[in-house]
Amino acid sequence: MTASNVDQAPGRKSGAGGTALTLLAWLIGITMFFPILWVVLTALKTEQTAFSMTPTFIFSPTLESFRSALAQGSGYWHYALNSVITALGSTLVGLALAIPAAYAMAFYPSRRTDFTLVWMVSTKFIPAVGVLIPVFLVYRSLGLLDTRLGLTMLFTAMNLPIMVWMVYSYFRDIPVDIVEAASIDGASTTQTMFRVILPLALPGLASTGLLALILAWNESFWSLTMTDYHAATLAVYTASFKSGEGLFWARLSAASVLTIAPIVVLGWFAQRQMVRGLTFGAVK
Amino acid sequence: MSAPSTNAPPQRRAPTKRLMAPSVLFLLVWMIVPLAMTLYYSLQDYNLMMPNTRGFAGFLSYELLFTDPVFWDALLNTLLLVATCLLVTVVAGLALALLFNRTFVGRGIARTLAISPFFVMPVVTGLIWKYMLLDPVYGLFSWVMRSVGLEPIQWLSSYPLLSVVMMISWEWTPFALLILLTGLQSLPEDQLEAVRLDGANRWQEFRHIVLPHLGQVLYVVIMLESIFFLTSFAEIYATTSGGPGTATTNLPYYIYLSAFFQYDIGLSSAAAVGAVILANIFAIFLIRFVAGNLNAGSQR
């Protein structure tokens, strides 16, 4: 099957070579995805079929592992709730902090706002281990260790530079005349921001929130070092499967699927935002 | 102050300081103050197990750090990890980006499948690889090896660092692919057509048009990935725990061990200062780049 090469430039015919490249691209896509598919398949097996030297590709699927992973005593819900609260919480706090800052930077640019923006971006490049020890000690003395509040704030700090950057870049797409017109009409800064700009930038704000949510959900470093049980997220839950010899692979897989599925699916819709947010405007 | 001056041109005013202050303060409290404290702790003799001996120690922690063979192992592992993962992800990412830049049936779906690993939580990536793929008896890789009549490889014990490289590369090749593909799609078509009319072959086309165009994008990918690879942690935590021995102990894991298992605040802080310096080597270039872009685009 040869693709209809609509954007193929003149002078480049695609024949058998083109078909081969198409097959190769598909093969690579499937290979890259295969480990994820394999976890899903393993999660649908019985423990016996899951743990065998010869892998089975055709089997009658069972939801038994999902049932036991979601059962009362498994603890999944406790960790999932923490993941939801910290990821959503940090996204909302992040947006609340980022919107005003980005508003100032985008609509009232000056040397100072430019400098502040670059400075904020630069804090993203401080490795987490660089601040791990003081954060741990201060949290310990303030009683913030293993609390959702403490973890949420760390997620916020981690994502804030990216969020400010993204909101800023969406605000810059809005003509500055709109802000001027609003202020001539006598609207205050707060009114202009909430009534005029935010509705216009809503899709951009949603994209920013989506990216922040994905990054916070997958964050593992702070969860593994700062929490133990009370505020522990799914990263800590799945990490607890790392030891133990007589492992239950089907259950491990079911827990993994429950942990990654929502975010992988969200990620499919966030590919463009990923590029925009993580490269700080260097790639368009 | 309340009455606007009538003869001055209408000026846009906003309380920019007040609008930015919350974000600035937040980052100061959660990033900059702790960073300064790390620097301070690195000059202290401070072990949580010996609270009475705390005091200023000058560069003692750094001396201890530099004479600790494990630190040098960790530094070497970190650099090896960064270099190998960079090589794999950038080369593979570029090849895949070129492959996915063509139009073909189901391109969007195939690309989405290829990008998916990037959205998998690193801890889960570690577990999938450790058990379901690399397990010497029950893993898929071992089954493939046995099927073709070869002896299965004890990946995590015989080639621990390589195993970690495979995991991280699986996660990050999609990132390089995604960004390089975006870069490729902004390549002006008329430039390509011009050289094609001049009779350039595919290689010349790639060498003289595509690569220079991608230069900037490649630069950004390399810098960003370097910083992320320097701080790899979860994959190692979930699989090898830095072992066997110190084979997969990188700088973040070393800092984690010396802080949370040896309770040595001075030593771990000194190592953390090292990690920050290392990250800064890459970050400085990136930040200049971001700042430059900002000024270039600010004629609005």
Identify the CA nearest to A242 among candidates B261, B78, B235, B120.
B235
Chain A environment of B241 (Cβ under 8 Å): 242
Q: A219-253: string of b/e by CB count within 10 Å (b at 16+)? A: bbbbbbbbbeeebbbbbbbbbebbeeeebbbbbbb
According to DSSP, the β-strands at B50-56 and B44-47 are antiparallel
| CATH number for the domain that contains residue B211 | 1.10.3720.10
Which of B220, B259, B294 has its CB closest to that of A118?
Answer: B294
- Together in a domain, A42 and A93: no
Q: Is the pLDDT of residue A7 over 90?
A: no
Helices (H) and strands (E) in chain A, counts: 14, 0
B14–A117 CB contact, under 8 Å: no
Chain A environment of B123 (Cβ under 8 Å): 220, 224, 235, 238-239
A205 and A277 in contact (C-beta within 8 Å)?
Answer: no
- Together in a domain, A96 and A194: yes
Cα gap A124→B282, rounded to integer Å: 12
Q: Is the pLDDT of residue A275 over 70?
A: yes
Each residue's pLDDT tens digit, B128-152 = 999 889 888 888 898 888 889 888 8
Average pLDDT over residues A167-174: 90
* Residue B201, Ramachandran bin (φ over 0: left; ψ between -120 and 50: alpha; else beta): beta
Average pLDDT over residues B86-103: 92
- Residue A284 covered by a domain: no
C-alpha angle A155/B169/A253, rounded to 5°? 70
DSSP-derived 3-state class of residue B53? strand
- Residue B46 covered by a domain: no
List of residues 6+ apart from B99 with CB closer than 8 A: A21, A24, A25, A28
Chain B environment of A121 (Cβ under 8 Å): 287, 290
- Residue B18 covered by a domain: no
Residue A267 Cα, gap to closest chain B Cα (Å) = 6
- Residue B36 covered by a domain: no
- Residue B149 covered by a domain: yes
And the tokens for A55? 């892998």
Residue B33, pLDDT score:
95
Residue matched to tokens 């001075």 = B266
Q: Is the pLDDT of residue A224 over 80?
A: yes
Q: Helix A148-171 and helix A111-123: axis angle, to 10°? A: 140
What is the average pLDDT value for chain A, to the nearest integer?
Answer: 86
Decide: residue A72, CB within 10 A, 0-12 exposed, 13-18 middle, 19+ buried.
exposed
Query: What's A125's DSSP letter?
Result: T
Each residue's pLDDT tens digit, A14-40 = 567 788 889 999 999 999 999 999 999
Assembly ipTM: 0.87
Nearest chain A residue (CA) to B253: A129
- Residue A82 covered by a domain: yes
- Together in a domain, A138 and A205: yes
Q: Is the pLDDT of residue B3 over 50?
A: no
DSSP-derived 3-state class of residue A55? coil
Output the DSSP codes for B58-115: TTHHHHHHHT-HHHHHHHHHHHHHHHHHHHHHHHHHHHHHHHHTS--TTHHHHHHHHH
| CATH number for the domain that contains residue A162 | 1.10.3720.10
Which of A55, A118, A284 has its CB closest to that of B140?
Answer: A55
Chain B environment of A234 (Cβ under 8 Å): 121
- Together in a domain, A57 and A84: no
Residue B296, pLDDT score:
61
List of residues 6+ apart from A71 with CB closer than 8 A: none
Highest mean pLDDT, choosing among A47-56, A154-163, A178-187, B278-287: A154-163
- Together in a domain, A32 and A112: no
Residue matched to tokens 């008896």 = B137
- Together in a domain, A96 and A164: yes
Give the total number of structural domains in chain B. Answer: 1
- Together in a domain, A60 and A78: no
And the tokens for B281? 């080597």
Highest mean pLDDT, choosing among A135-139, A178-182, B16-20, B228-232: A135-139
- Residue A107 covered by a domain: yes
HSE-up of B59 (CA within 13 Å, CB side)? 4
Residue B12 Cα, gap to closest chain A Cα (Å) = 7
Residue B13, pLDDT score:
65
List of residues 6+ apart from A124 with CB closer than 8 A: A161, A162
Decide: residue A185, CB within 10 A, 0-12 exposed, 13-18 middle, 19+ buried.
exposed
Q: Is the pLDDT of residue A171 over 80?
A: yes
Chain B environment of A53 (Cβ under 8 Å): 137-138, 143, 146
Nearest chain B residue (CA) to A179: B12
Other C-beta atoms within 10 Å of B143: how many? 16
- Together in a domain, A81 and A170: yes
Determine which of A178-192, A250-264, B128-142 has the lowest per-residue pLDDT on average.
A178-192
Confidence of residue A284 (pLDDT cuts 50, 70, 90): low
In terms of residues, how long is chain A?
284
- Residue A198 covered by a domain: yes
- Contacts A–B by Cβ distance under 8 A: 350
B96–A101 CB contact, under 8 Å: no
Domain encompassing residue A162? 70-278
Cα gap A175→A62, rounded to integer Å: 55
| Residue B12 phi, psi dihedral angles, 5° rounding | -85, 125
Chain A environment of B12 (Cβ under 8 Å): 107-108, 179-180, 183
Confidence of residue A280 (pLDDT cuts 50, 70, 90): confident
- Residue B273 covered by a domain: yes
Cα gap A221→A131, rounded to integer Å: 12
Residue A3, pLDDT score:
41
Which of A112, A129, A221 has its CB closest to that of B275?
Answer: A129
Cα gap B115→B117, rounded to integer Å: 6
Which of A224, A225, A256 has its CB closest to that of B127?
Answer: A256
And the tokens for B78? 């970190």
Residue A236, pLDDT score:
93
Average pLDDT over residues A112-130: 91
Confidence of residue B241 (pLDDT cuts 50, 70, 90): confident
B124–A260 CB contact, under 8 Å: yes
Q: Is the pLDDT of residue B5 over 50?
A: no
- Together in a domain, A55 and A98: no
Which of A53, A104, A256 has its CB closest to that of B19?
Answer: A104
- Together in a domain, A47 and A170: no
B96–A28 CB contact, under 8 Å: yes
Give the total number of structural domains in chain A. Answer: 2
Residue B282, pLDDT score:
83
Q: B272-300: string of b/e by CB count within 10 Å (b at 16+)? A: bbbbbebbbebbeebbebbbebbeeeeee
- Together in a domain, A54 and A112: no
The radius of gyration of chain B from alpha carbons, rounded to an integer in Å, stands at 25
C-alpha angle B89/B93/B99, rounded to 5°? 155
- Residue B262 covered by a domain: yes
Comparison of pLDDT for B49 and B273, the residue scoring more: B273
Average pLDDT over residues A59-67: 85
Cα gap B49→B53, rounded to integer Å: 10
Confidence of residue B187 (pLDDT cuts 50, 70, 90): confident
* Positive or negative torsion for Cα A3, A4, A6, A7: positive
Domain encompassing residue B97? 76-293
Nearest chain A residue (CA) to B139: A53
Cα gap B20→A42, rounded to integer Å: 49
Residue B33 Cα, gap to closest chain A Cα (Å) = 9
Q: Distance of CA A117 to CAs A104, A157, B60, B229, B249, Å?
A: 10, 15, 37, 24, 35
Q: Is the pLDDT of residue B178 over 70?
A: yes
- Together in a domain, A249 and A202: yes
HSE-up of A165 (CA within 13 Å, CB side)? 29
Residue A157 Cα, gap to closest chain B Cα (Å) = 6
Cα gap B261→B266, rounded to integer Å: 13
Each residue's pLDDT tens digit, A67-115 = 888 887 778 899 999 999 999 999 999 999 999 999 999 988 888 899 9
- Residue A116 covered by a domain: yes
Which of A5, A157, A272 has its CB closest to that of B30?
Answer: A157
| Residue A51 phi, psi dihedral angles, 5° rounding | -100, 75
| Residue A133 phi, psi dihedral angles, 5° rounding | -70, -50
Each residue's pLDDT tens digit, B23-59 = 999 999 999 999 999 999 999 888 888 877 788 888 8
B272–A252 CB contact, under 8 Å: no
